Structure 1
Amino acid sequence: MTLRSVRLEDEVILSVDGVFDGGLAPSYHQAIEDAFAAGVRRVVVDLTMATAVDGGGTAVLAATAAGCAARDTHLIIAMPRGVEAEIRDPAQVRLLLRSFEPWQDAG
């Protein structure tokens, strides 16, 4: 599992390669906190190279959604197969991830 973070002015792109699980959560959380501290207005979480997202990854993404909503920051989650969604509510994260068939059993 790998996390890459790229900041472009007021946007940050976080790319996950491999399984997004509790092991990756601390690095991801730090990247998000750094982005919020820098005043980004848009967060893109690129899961196109992710092989699965477990409960820990889902929880961190939901926390990101809550943080973005509190800061009036846009959150976009990009999924495999060209699926992209703007998330405005933490509950949308779980629905989006559950709708992606290969990850339904990832936890």
Structure 2
Amino acid sequence: MTLHSVLLEDEVILSVEGVFDGDVAAAYHRSMEAAYAADVRRVVVDLTMATAVDGGAAAVLAATVTGCAARGTHLIIAMPDGVEAEVTDPAQVRTLLRSFE
């Protein structure tokens, strides 16, 4: 499991490889806090190389939706099956993550 974070001016790309679980969720949360501090306008969560997402990571993603919405930040989630969606409601996270179940 690996988390890569790339900050590009007003955008951050967070890529997860392997299992997105509690261990990765902590690093992910720190990366999101840094992105918010940098006042990014767009967040891309790239799960195309993820093999599984546990409940804790799903909760962190749902919290990201809420945090981005409160800041007017666009949140894009890219999935392994080629689906890419702008997420504006925490309930959308569960729908997107069904491919990992």
TM-score range, shorter chain: over 0.9
Q: Distance in 1 between matches of 2:24 and 2:15?
A: 12
Q: Deviations over 1:60-107 (max 9, x none)?
A: 000000000000100000001211010001111111112x1xx11xxx
Q: Distance in 2 between matches of 1:23 and 1:30?
A: 12
Report the TM-score when normalising by structure 2.
0.97
2:44 aligned partner = 44
Gap runs ≥5 in structure 2: none
1:67 aligned partner = 67
Within 5 Å, give how 1:12-23 maps onto structure 2. 12-23=12-23
Q: Distance in 2 between matches of 1:28 and 1:47?
A: 12
Q: Distance in 2 between matches of 1:89 and 1:69?
A: 8
Amino acid at match of 2:89: D
Q: Deviations over 1:22-51 (max 9, x none)?
A: 111110000000000000000000000000
Within 5 Å, give how 1:21-36 maps onto structure 2. 21-36=21-36
Percent identity, please: 75
Deviation at 1:15, TM superposition (A): 0.3
Amino acid at match of 2:75: L
Between the two proteins, the alignment pairs up a number of residues equal to 101
1:96 aligned partner = 96
2:8 aligned partner = 8
Report the TM-score when normalising by structure 1.
0.92
Amino acid at match of 1:96: L
